[in-house]
Every structure is written in structure tokens, then in C-alpha cells.
Amino acid sequence: MLSVSSLTMRFGAKILFEDVSTSFIPGRRYGLTGPNGAGKTTFMNLLSGETEPTLGNVVRPPKMSVLSQNQFAYDAYRVIDTVIMGNKRLWAAMEAREAIYAKPEMTDEDGMRLGELEGIVGEEDGYAAESDAAILLQGLDIPNDVHERPMSELQGGQKVRVLLAQALFGHPDALLLDEPTNHLDLDSIDWLVDFLSRYDGALIVISHDRHFLNSVCTHIADIDYQTIITYTGGYDDMVMAKTQIRSQVESQNAQREKKIAQLNEFIARFAAGTRSSQVQSRRKEVERLQVTDLARSNIARPFIKFEMLRPSGKHVLEIEGLEKAYDGHRVLRGFTASVGRGEKIAIMGRNGAGKTTLLNALLTGCDTVPEAVLRGTSGYGGAFRDAGKVTWGHEAQVGYFAQDHRSLITPGTTVFEWLYQWDPAASQEQIRGLLGQMLFQREEATKKTEVLSGGEAARLLFCMLMLKKPNVLVLDEPTNHLDLESISALNIALQRYPGTVLLVSHDHDLVDEVATRIWRVGEGSKNGGIEDFQGGFAEFQAVAATA
């Protein structure tokens, strides 16, 4: 059993949790939710023992696994060994066993110890450890030829997936996962959903992927009002229950306030008269009808609305024979397509398939995207395209959201100054209004751009797109660093946007609810290795399931 009792956590004057007591029961899968800054990662660190609480206690099961956030901690080890280290008892026994076998001669004591170690290895399924670890790695798109290589040779995204496999290994009693879908493509996310749905320990997961939470979680532990409230069901169930509870309390308060006003009017009229007993009775009634104290929620929702300064022509983009290769890998092989006004295209594919490379090739020569920005993104191999022709249509005005925010937001300026440069004709009130819509406090307008968090940088880019009013949006992983409320606001904004959208995202609901067309990179032998599906994501999945 994993539980906390009378838990309080403060940072200076700021209270994250106060007197929290709750338990996480085996067989249940909990989503830990709350807006950015609510304390989700801090609470996860308290559960794991990485951080000590200000007050209170944490009780942990004997075998608990945590998704490591340190990508470099295992650089000296093989990939397969890094996964097996997820079972600490097994790994310690295997290392001790190897040390004994490495001795030139074994003593009787060594022989007895070896028997004990072999017993531990057997109890922990150690004889199947490498094959079990390989299955986890394959499910997370780490190919077999990588398993024997040292971790130091892997890219950042691959390391994160290996560390996720490490956390899943060894069947722990409790499993703590902080943003496990980061750096996973949709196929790997689907595999993870299936794996976790069969897990019978106590799972606690932080994620900004609504579909993932709805698919995996049996309960939601929501951080709000300086406490943790557990709801039954997935994320959408929690939102509905939370809204209903608050609406019910607000309605009851309104009725009580109306009744109290009527009683106070009677008291004021007859307090000095002969009806003192009735007045006293009503005073007691007022005391009884105290309004329920409704704490202020820490949830803040941004307002995103993308508009067009003017519409584009009917034909937005023409692509002919697009070619691109780098590091000996041919990513684009003669891709040809035509994009019409108002289409919303989701660009999908496994990690490393070439999604960002495709965007770079399309944006090369586009007046509104500086070449220096593209050179700072992944998939650049000396040129943005090797062959082919890309033609943007009449009046096409492109707004670009780069996966690497730092390539777009220049340092050495303030938030207000950086945003103002995109439209010097805008008034100060307009600029501050946009910043307010995206949850920047008034004093944050003078914040230096180089110290922005990932979420703040993303929200500032959305301010820029709303200010410029382009008729084409090219968005590369726009949900990275956003909380669930911001992702929901983006989803609605893109659905209502009348312009054209090219979207790279691994967020299932965003793709499902926005896309009217799918480009799947790295699939099929036709059309340059990109499958061009004329339809939404649900239709695409249905066709793929019957293929």
C-alpha cells in the first residue's frame, strides 16, 4: 500500500498541500492532475522519497518503481542492462553473482553465497530478464540492434524510452510515471496504454495527454484547493464531477444568500418593535444558514482564438517530387501532394521517420519563416531539400510554431518587446490583452525571454500567432509543455480556425478532433514513402485495422 498521512508541503510562504491524507490502492490506476505549478511533480517526488515533506508521513510498498528523469545516469551501461536495473533486487544479485564468478578461486563461503544469489535470481525471474527487457524495448520502438549498445550512444528521445522500459520492468508493487508519453509516437503510446491497462499494482501517472488518461486511469487524484481529491473514472469523468460539485455548491450558496437577505430584512424592520422573539429566532436562522466557504480553484484556462487577416487562395500548397536524405537515410522519396484552403492535415509517423524534416522542406523559402530558424531544428542535413519543388499559393501567409521554442524566441528582450515586434501598429492594450488571454500576469510582460519556462514560451508563441493572424498554421508538436487546460483550449481553437493547418502531434484527441486529412511519414512504397489519407483520424484507424 502506498499512502500519505497529514502531508503538508510549503515553499516559503507558498502552500502546495496542507494536511493531505490519501491512499493509492493496488489494482487502481491513478492520474495525478492539476495545472502547471500545482505541485504534481513535487507530490510524485514526495511519494518516491526524493523530497521530504514539511510535515506528515509517506508509507511505501517494498517494491516501487519510478520513471527516472536523469538521461545521463546510465551512460556507462548497455541498454539492456539499464532496463534490468529497474528491478533493483535482481540487478544487485546478478552483479554480486558475476563478482563471485570472476574470482580465480571460490571459497566454500562463496559457494553458499552463490546459492543464495541464484535463489534470488530465480525468484525475480532473472533467467528470462534479458528477453523480458527486449520485449519492453521493442514495444517502445527501440530496435534489437540497439539493445547491446551503451546508453551514451543513444539520442535523448531514445534514452527516455529506455528509462520508461526500466520503470516498467520487474513488476513493481507501485509504479510512478511522470510524463511517460513524452518522446513517444502514437504507436508506442497505444502499446503503453495496453501494457498499463494490464498492470495490477498501484499506478500513479502524470500526463498532459487527455486520451491517455481516459484510456488508462480508473481514478483521478486532482491537486486543487491545496489538497488532493480523488475521483472515480478517467479525466473527463473528473472534470464533469468537479464541475457538477462546484455548480451544486454555488447554487446552494445562492439560495442561502437569498434566504439570509430576506431574514435580515425582517430583522431590520422589527428589531426595535414588539416582535423581539421572532427577530431573535430569525437571527439564529441566519447563523444556521452560513454560506459554504467555496475555496478558489487554482485552475486557469487560457483563451486561444486564431483568426485570419485575409483568406488565402483556393490552392494553398503544391508539392512536386520532394526529396531529402541525411546521415545516409533517405527520408523523403519523391513526395507529391496538393493542399487546398481550409484543410487540416495531421503529419504522423514513428519517431525519426522525418515529420519535422518534411516541415522544414516545405517551409524552405517561405517569407515568414527565417532560414536560421529552420537550421536550429532537428532533421537538418546541410540543405532543407535535395530535390523537388514547393510552391505556396496566392496570399498564403504562414504562421510557424517550432518544436524547439528557443529557435523562434530571441533572448535579450522582454516578453512585451518580443511580441510587439510582430506588429508595431498594435496598441499596448492589445499586446497586454493577448498576454492576459494566455495567462501572463501584468508584471510578467517585463520578464526576460531567456528565462521563460517551456510552457511560458509555448504560450508566448500562441500570442504571436494570434497577433499576426496568418491564414496557414504550421505547428510542430505544439502541445509539448502545455497543461491539459491549455491543450483543450488549443484543440477548440484549431477546430474553429477557418484557415489551413499542418500539424505534427502525438496527442490522440488533438489529431482525432482537428485533422481532416492524414499524412503518415515512413509508411508505404507509393508517393515518396508518405501515405496520404483523405479523411480524419478515426477513419484512418478503421481502414488500417482492416488492412
pLDDT digits (tens, 9 = 90+) for 403-459: 887 778 888 999 999 999 999 899 999 999 999 999 998 899 999 999 988 889 999
* pLDDT confidence tier of residue 59, bands split at 50, 70 and 90: very high
The candidate with the shortest Cα–Cα distance to 408, out of 370, 440, 459, is 370
- Is it the case that residue 378 has pLDDT exceeding 60? no
Can you read off the three cell numbers belonging to residue 355?
Answer: 515529420
pLDDT range class, residue 177, cuts 50, 70, 90: very high
Q: Which of 34-48, 69-83, 257-271 has the least mean pLDDT?
A: 257-271
Strand-strand pairing, 398-401 and 472-476: parallel
- What mean pLDDT is predicted for residues 480-506? 93
- Segment 167-183 shows an average pLDDT of 91
Q: Please give the model's pTM, rounded to 2 decimal places.
A: 0.79
Query: What is the average per-residue pLDDT within 231-245?
Result: 87
pLDDT of residue 152: 93
Q: Which residues pair with 501 in a beta bridge?
A: 344, 473
Compare 358 and 273 and report the one with higher pLDDT. 358
Across the range 129-151, mean pLDDT stands at: 93
Q: Which residues pair with 338 in a beta bridge?
A: 318
Q: Which residue has the higher pLDDT, 286 or 44?
A: 44
pLDDT of residue 348: 93
Res 182 pLDDT > 90: no
pLDDT for residue 343 is more than 80: yes
Residue 281 is predicted with a pLDDT of 81
pLDDT tens digit sequence for 76-96: 999 999 999 999 999 999 999
pLDDT over 80 at 272, yes or no: no
Q: What is the pLDDT of residue 353?
A: 83
Please list the residues that pair with 474 across neighbouring strands.
400, 502
**Cα(501)–Cα(208) distance, integer angstroms:** 22
* H or E element in which residue 316 lies: strand 315-326
- What distance in Å separates the CA atoms of residue 450 and residue 547, rounded to the nearest whole number? 49
DSSP secondary structure, 195-261, as one string: HHHT--SEEEEE-S-HHHHHHH-SEEEEEETTEEEEEES-HHHHHHHHHHHHHHHHHHHHHHHHHHH
What confidence tier does 11 reach under pLDDT thresholds 50, 70, 90? Answer: confident
Out of 233-247, 411-425, 489-503, least confident range: 233-247
pLDDT band with cut points at 50, 70 and 90 for residue 293: low
- Which pLDDT band, with edges at 50, 70 and 90, does 372 fall under? low
Max CA pair span of the chain: 107
What per-residue confidence (pLDDT) applies to 18? 86
Phi, psi for 184 (deg, rounded to 5): -105, 140
User: Which has more pLDDT, 364 or 535?
Assistant: 535
Whether 98 has a pLDDT exceeding 60, the answer reads yes
Query: Grid coordinates 501494457 are at which residue?
Result: 195
Determine the pLDDT at residue 292: 52
- Mean pLDDT value across residues 146-167: 91
Q: Please give the pLDDT value at position 291.
A: 54
pLDDT at 377 over 60: no
Mean pLDDT calculated for residue range 174-200: 91
pLDDT score of 114: 92
- CA gap 473, 400 in Å, rounded: 6
Can you tell me the mean pLDDT for 150-168?
Answer: 90
- pLDDT mean across residues, the chain: 88
Residue 539: pLDDT band (50, 70, 90) is very high
**pLDDT band, very low/low/confident/very high, at 271 (cuts 50, 70, 90):** confident
| Residue-wise burial string across 209-224, b where 16 or more C-beta atoms lie within 10 A, e elsewhere | bbbbbbbbbebbbbbb
Higher pLDDT, 514 or 441: 514
C-alpha span between 189 and 351 (Å, rounded): 12
